[in-house]
Chain A
Amino acid sequence: MLTRITGGEIVDPVNGRIGQGDLWIEDETIVAAPVDGRADRTIDASGCVVMAGAIDIHSHIGGGNVNTARLLLPEHHAAHAPRPANTPLSNAGWSTFETGCLYAKMGFTTVVEPAMSPGSALHTHLELADIPIIDKATLAILGNDDFLLSMIRDNASPQMIEDYVAWTVGSSRALGVKVINAGAAAAFKENVRTFSFDDVVPFYGVSSRRIVKTLQAAVTSLGVPHPLHVHCNNLGASGAAETAAETIAAAEGVPMHLAHLQFYSYGTEGKRKFSSEAARLAELVNSTPEITIDIGQVMFGQTVTISSDVLRQFSARGSANPKKTVIFDGDGNGGGVVPYRYGKDFYGSLQWAIGLELFLLINDPWRVFFTTDHPNGAPFTAYPDLFALLMSRDARKEAAAGVSQKALSFSTLGSIEREYTFEEIAIMTRAAPAKLLGLKDRGHLGAGALADVAVYRKGEDIAQMFRSAAFVFKNGDLVVRNGEIENYRWGKALRLNPPPDKAMVRRLDAYHQERYGLSLDWFDFPDSAIQREQPFGEVSCNT
């Protein structure tokens, strides 16, 4: 089947194609214009922008902690209306089915769940398999697990650590590795209540810094395309900018990704001892080329924070709104669920402004990623409004007038004139994420790319344009038309598949037998357990 998307404004920075033209799709793939030029289907994209499908690198869309949050807050996601005939369960609020539909309507075709506990990988992948339309991927969490901390304490060889990381990534079907407040969850189990980069985990005698450096080295050496994804210590604390700066300095020329930098860009000025350090951190990111970051933008309203940073969530219990929380001491990180409402008070307003400062002051769209840390800063459904704030300084001025002016006086936001262009948006939300994750088949519109395409009707209202795509293709299937889902298809979970080292498997089996009284089989599963055709798609490691 040959499809021609005609008359649209193509925005494909990877291939240097910017301007009006046609895009051709044959089955699942983007192709060069055929010689005879006859299409089976023609899509009129005049007045539209045509981009590759968007890729979200950090959105908590499924797994144990997300499901616990659903369970904790049934009153927050009542379903709205009877479902449309073709899309089962798509109106079920905050369900996996709704998640896939809402992302697709915004032109997103690949989403990464960034915090999979390796021990509950099966649960996570079952949830992801019930998210229709889009492709998914996961990052496996390491860095608070006894096996790794013991190896570091005992000065295990880098090879042995790599074998363990490779086994974890392979058996949990992950696309990369994330470390979340390295060592803090283990320390919290020993009743430690604050934990910084050079603090040492009791019992193991290993510092947070050493855990991060060890994992960074292993990930790099294994050729995992995505750099180590780091959630720093002291999230949300006033003065956390110092921790972020220390962590950036510790990259030492080797790639490292810092998650949701907004939540660390806090200084200690003013009588509330809470101020913006966004300008300083943006400058630091600009001058440190091995660093990539995502924002974790705050938008106003009710949300729920879901984090495997159990120590931080424990500390935040007092701010829960409504007043109910879950604190989970898991095998490695565990996690916590704390519902929260971002108001336009001093703190909420400053957090909102800080996120925008980071977006606008970090110069290179290849190194700053578009996230709200869904749902921690805001649900992903706030993305269209955020695009509008980035692309229009008038929209920003208008929004800024409605927030705490006292808070804005601690930020540089009012003085920033920059507006993101469509090309920069296409880099930040398509080209750069594909590159960062090692997904060579997407993020651009060149011949041979997967036909993941988003077509947006241009208009005055930027948010509306991104909220409701005119057309979306996933693997060449037309899945969205005029902002409505046409039909379900089932995407894949993208994963790496490094071969397991036999000696490491024996070692892990002995460890699980001895420490848990269970064979290693309990912690693994066959692909067939997912009960979808081809639930996984393999991505290769760098050689």
Chain B
Amino acid sequence: MTVAWIGDRDVPITQAIERIAELLVSSLCPVFSLDTDVHGTRAAIALAERVGAAYDRLGGDGVARETALLTDRGGFFVAPGEARRRADVIVIAGQLPAAHHALVTEIAATPPDLAGEAPKPRQVFLVGAETQAAYLRKAKTMRLACAGADLNGTLAALRAQCAGRAVTKPVSDFARFAQAMAEARFAVFLFCGEMLDAPGLEMLQGLIGDLNRKSRASALHLPASEAGWGSSLASTWMTGFPLRTGFGRGQPEFDPWRYDVSRMIEEGEADLHLCIAASGDQIASSRKNLPLVAITPTDRPIAGAAVTLAAGQPGVSHDAVVYSSRVGTLVSKTAERRADDLPDAASLLRSIARQLPGGKALPC
């Protein structure tokens, strides 16, 4: 089975790894895109330090917005288990990615068991005219929307009305919402950075902060990407900083604009792109003339890649540690099948590091 290619040509894996090391050494501004588990991320960050690379989530805008909520403001957050067991009112703030639909359906369909002696079925509200929740087939939902306003506008009006301020365009069914909030033991707002931008996230947390003056409410973070959030956590403990950190000057520097890897590619700052992806289709064709190193499960070279290495799939062909929205933390995922025997991204990255000048092993 072929596992390594230089351009379109099959090569022994050692040769491909040497070629990647050469590319990294000659690059002045390498960038890494990550779509891998915690151990793949750890090895990638350790390698980034060695070669002075910047790193980001592959397609990382949603994760970056969620990160910015924490770095700029903070907020109220709740564990998914507590949301499931305690939330008597659920408010879905904007469209949620399909990856979370099964979980939200399950939460909506189960009665909370820690919401008092005789818990009633949960009430579900949808914020924003565009927010769809067809996946919640059985749940009765109530829409909160403002004529002519987008999601942020609706959230702003909701917060204002909750605080008793007058608004020009009131939120539909506000009275029902106000009553639900008055009666709620623990209201949980579901949010994701994929669809909600920085002002929207901020407004949502502002509303939750207001509610906590008198009663209890919190937010369940359903990340734009579970793998991305796992990478962000690992990056934070390893370097002190989340994704969009760069080692261009030796020490890690966090700058969500400067080290936005898509921007660095588009604007011609990057001169080498190393992409670790859970699936080959996710590797978008790079800027023209930008050498691409692809590390991904594949049985053929990735179109346009200078070097392709076939890697296993985290949690599928090898054991992995991933973030799970079901428990709100990192979990160990046992391989479903080990038949293809492909190495994990972490060990490939460690092999690359050993080919760098000095040949020292990575610290993880």
Contact = CB atoms under 8 A, between A and B. Distances in A.
- Whether A associates with B in a native complex is yes
Interface of A: 62, 64, 66-68, 70-74, 77-83, 88-89, 91-98, 119-120, 122-123, 126-127, 130, 132, 146, 188-191, 203, 314, 324-331, 334, 337, 488, 515-518, 522-526, 528-529, 531
B26 to A, nearest CB: 20
A72 B70 contact: yes
B79 A95 contact: no
Given A80-B251, A516-B84, A72 B331 contact: no
A308 to B, nearest CB: 13
B363 A522 contact: no
A324 B72 contact: yes
B84 A96 contact: no
The bracket for how many chain B residues form the interface is 35 or more
8 contacts: A67-B237, A79-B240, A89-B238, A119-B327, A130-B42, A327-B75, A327-B212, A328-B78
A325 B116 CA distance: 29
B285 to A, nearest CB: 33
3 shortest interchain CB distances as A-B pairs: A82-B250, A79-B251, A525-B332
Given A89-B252, A324-B73, A522-B326, 5 more contacts: A71-B232, A88-B49, A126-B237, A327-B76, A327-B77
B185 interface: yes
A531 B364 contact: yes
B251 A71 contact: no
B236 A71 contact: yes
B266 to A, nearest CB: 24
A72 B254 CA distance: 13
Contacts of B332: 122, 524-526, 529
B331 A522 contact: yes
Given A92-B252, A95-B237, A324-B73, A488 B216 contact: no
A146 B49 contact: no
Interface string B98-125: 0000000010001001101000000000
Interface of B: 38-39, 42, 46, 49-50, 67, 70-79, 81-82, 84-86, 106, 110, 113-114, 116, 185-186, 212, 215-216, 218, 232-234, 236-242, 249-254, 319, 321, 324, 326-327, 329-332, 334, 346, 362-364
A126 B82 contact: no
Contacts of B334: 526
A119 to B, nearest CB: 6
Given A130-B238, A328-B77, A330-B79, A123 B251 contact: no
Contacts of A120: 329-330
Given A71-B242, A517-B84, A528 B319 contact: yes
A331 B81 contact: yes
Nearest to B344: A531
Contacts of A191: 185, 215-216
Given A70-B237, A88-B46, A89-B49, A64 B329 contact: yes
B236 A203 contact: no
A242 to B, nearest CB: 28
Contact of B251 (A82, A189, A524): A82
Contacts of A326: 70, 74-77
A522 B327 contact: yes
A70 B236 contact: yes
B319 A529 contact: yes
Nearest to B113: A515
B240 A93 contact: yes
Contacts of B39: 531
A123 B329 CA distance: 7
A329 B187 CA distance: 12
A459 to B, nearest CB: 31
A94 B49 CA distance: 16
A71 B67 contact: yes
Nearest to B77: A328
A277 to B, nearest CB: 31
A12 to B, nearest CB: 33
B238 A96 contact: yes
Contacts of B82: 189, 329-331, 334
Nearest to A186: B114
A81 B319 contact: no
Contacts of B186: 189
B298 to A, nearest CB: 24
Given A95-B239, A127-B237, A122 B74 contact: no
A392 B116 CA distance: 57
A329 B218 contact: yes
A94 B241 CA distance: 9
Contact of A203 (B78, B114, B238, B249): B114
Given A123-B329, A329-B78, A334-B79, A97 B238 contact: yes
B208 to A, nearest CB: 9
A62 B326 CA distance: 22
A123 to B, nearest CB: 5
A334 B186 CA distance: 15
B42 A71 contact: no
A123 B110 CA distance: 28
A95 B218 CA distance: 29
A336 to B, nearest CB: 10
A122 B321 contact: yes
B174 to A, nearest CB: 23
Contacts of A529: 319, 321, 332
B114 A146 contact: yes
B253 A119 contact: no
A126 B242 contact: no
A253 to B, nearest CB: 36
Nearest to B329: A120
Given A95-B238, A517-B106, A518-B326, A83 B216 contact: no
B28 to A, nearest CB: 16
Nearest to B232: A71
A80 B252 CA distance: 9
A62 B237 contact: yes
Contacts of B218: 327, 329
Contact of B321 (A94, A126, A132): A126
Contact of A517 (B50, B73, B110): B110
Given A126-B321, A328-B78, A74 B331 contact: no
A89 B49 CA distance: 7
Contacts of A132: 363
B77 A329 contact: yes
B79 A329 contact: yes
A74 B71 contact: yes
A330 B242 CA distance: 22
Contacts of A329: 76-79, 82, 216, 218
Nearest to A531: B39
Contacts of A95: 237-240, 252
